[in-house]
Amino acid sequence: MEKIREHSFRLSDKEFKFICQFVYETAGIVLNDSKREMVYRRLTRIIRERSLSSFHAYYQLLKLNPEQEKNYFINAITTNLTSFFREEHHFDFLLKTELPYLIKKNKNDKRIRIWSSASSTGEEPYSIAITLCEGLKNYLSSWDIKVLATDIDSDVLSKGKAGIYDKRRIEEIPERYKKIYFSKGTGLNESKVKVLSNLQKLLTFKQLNLLHEWPMKGPFDIIFCRNVIIYFDKKTQQELFERYYEILAPGGLLILGHSENLGSYQKYFENVGRTVFRKPILSAAMR
Ligand SMILES: C[S@@+](CC[C@H](N)C(=O)[O-])C[C@H]1O[C@@H](n2cnc3c(N)ncnc32)[C@H](O)[C@@H]1O
């Protein structure tokens, strides 16, 4: 039944091509024919919400009002899959290797900056914040420690800021973390948990398109860029690697997702863990 209803709108080749181009120019995300069904499903939702009669009507709206429609459209098209402590080995590395290293390396300015650069609904930056609370207990009040969480999608950022999750989202994390870092909802919110304010205090959520100017100066000690560059083409990936390299502190870490790699940019970094790359202390200019 659902399938028949879903295909009640017609998406022509011309409209699909326009949508792919629009997504590429706006967010750098490469869509091809294999994503047609996904695009169809996600945009059908917008068409229904807007009470439009066809893809053509939506196509015309996008053409006429690209600026006005962009945010809504990009929010619908992005893939926001994430989880707490996804790729757990990265958080182990952070706790056991990187935080002890940073305590020594940054002992003079007592400052640590971490950037979760495609933060989605916040599970990644909150997992970073939990790891900081675990590994830097004696430093949190006297050091200047901050995590910046950015994403292009304004809906996921609002969820991240709120810090409220279905309790099933934290089923897999250690019991101790559940007790220390989350409060349980009551009454109508019984199925929810909320991250505690000591975690939220460490985080700032901001909307940022990775393709645009980055307003922050850095330098960052660690950048998480996980499970986002897979949506970009080689050219965009390489431009981003250069910019990440520039904004990282000497000795800083760039962390990618499990199926991602630096390609030819690997030579500028040291591979210090599974998809964990360190900018050398004595770093070479890339260009
Ligand atoms: C699959 S999620 C990854 C979330 C998290 N990093 C993780 O690994 O669990 C990819 C995120 O990248 C964001 N994204 C896609 N294109 C982007 C762009 N051009 N600038 C910033 N964020 C983007 C999406 O909105 C989405 O939330």
Ligand 1 centroid – CA 6 distance (Å) = 26
Assigned token pair, 248: 């990282």
Residue 28: name the closest of 248, 239, 244 by CA: 239
- Out of 10-19, 157-166, 268-277, least confident range: 10-19
Domain boundaries, the chain: 2-77, 88-278
CA of 121 to the centre of ligand 1 (A): 9
Band (7; pLDDT cuts 50, 70, 90) = low
pLDDT tens profile 152-176: 999 999 999 999 999 999 999 999 9
CATH of domain 2-77: 1.10.155.10
Q: How far apart are CA 224 and CA 234, in angstroms?
A: 19
Q: Is the CB of 163 under 6 A from ligand 1?
A: no
pTM exceeding the 0.85 threshold for the entire prediction: yes
CB of 153 shorter than 6 A to ligand 1: yes
Domain 88-278 has CATH 3.40.50.150: yes
Tokens linked to 74: 């990009």
Residue 225 beta carbon below 6 angstroms from any ligand 1 atom: no
Q: Over the stretch 173-223, which tens digit does the pLDDT of each residue have? A: 999 999 999 999 999 999 999 999 999 999 999 999 999 999 999 999 999
Q: Name the strand (E) or helix (H) holding 34.
A: none
Confidence of residue 57 (pLDDT cuts 50, 70, 90): very high
Higher-confidence position of 87 and 47: 87
Ligand 1 pocket check for 283: Cβ under 6 Å: no
